[in-house]
Amino acid sequence: MQSKKFLNKVSALFILLFIIFLTVLIYIGFPIKYKDDVKKCSLNEKVDIYLVLAVIKAESGFNQNTVSDKGAIGLMQILPSTAEYVAEEILDERISDLKNAEVNIRYGVAYLNYLKNKFDDEFTFLAAYNAGEGNVNKWLNDERYAKDGKLIYIPFSETRKYVKKILSYKKIYRFIYPYIS
């Protein structure tokens, strides 16, 4: 009887330690960095803060110095041509340093808001963030990929995986940080 109680206590302790270990892994894997900038820009542009965190995690893993093979820069992996458009046409300012975290987040979130307003549904505007507006416009005009003005299939495998990843990350962020303050 004593050994059964002991085993139950050891099992309970093991389960507790395992839960703590998993929790630590989740928080390490899904950090919140640049919280003040993300929060400010998300509120200003009315873009879901969890979506912004998911995009940053997927695009750069929160490394502000990341530069892709295609030349996308910073936390939100913005191409210089996109940054120029965002700065001049959307934010009405001169382009700034894309490796600066605050600037990169501001441009990325402004661009997400622009795409959100243009394409209306999250699946479509996330596809546009990754594959470009031109591609998404073509897909929306092709009945193989769109129905009733909404994108239902993404022909680019990379973009399909990207959108799925962002939406998954967004759910995870919302679950582990239900009240970001």
The 10s digit of each residue's pLDDT in 31-85 is 999 999 999 999 999 999 999 999 999 999 999 999 999 999 999 999 999 999 9
Catalytic annotation present for 122: no
Residues spanned by the domain of 9? 1-30
Residues 78 and 145 in one domain: yes
Residues 60 and 19 in one domain: no
* Active-site entry in 45, 59, 88, 143: 59
**Per-residue pLDDT at 181:** 64
- This prediction has a pTM of 0.88
**Per-residue pLDDT at 24:** 76
Residues 6+ apart with CB under 8 A from 109: 38, 41, 42, 44, 45, 47, 52, 76
In a domain? residue 44: yes
Query: Which of 52-86 are b and which e, b meaning 16 or more Cβ less than 10 Å from the residue's Cβ?
Result: bbbbbbbbbeeebebeeeeebbbbbbbeeebbebb
Residues 53 and 82 in one domain: yes
Residues 157 and 167 in one domain: yes
Has residue 163 got a pLDDT over 90? yes
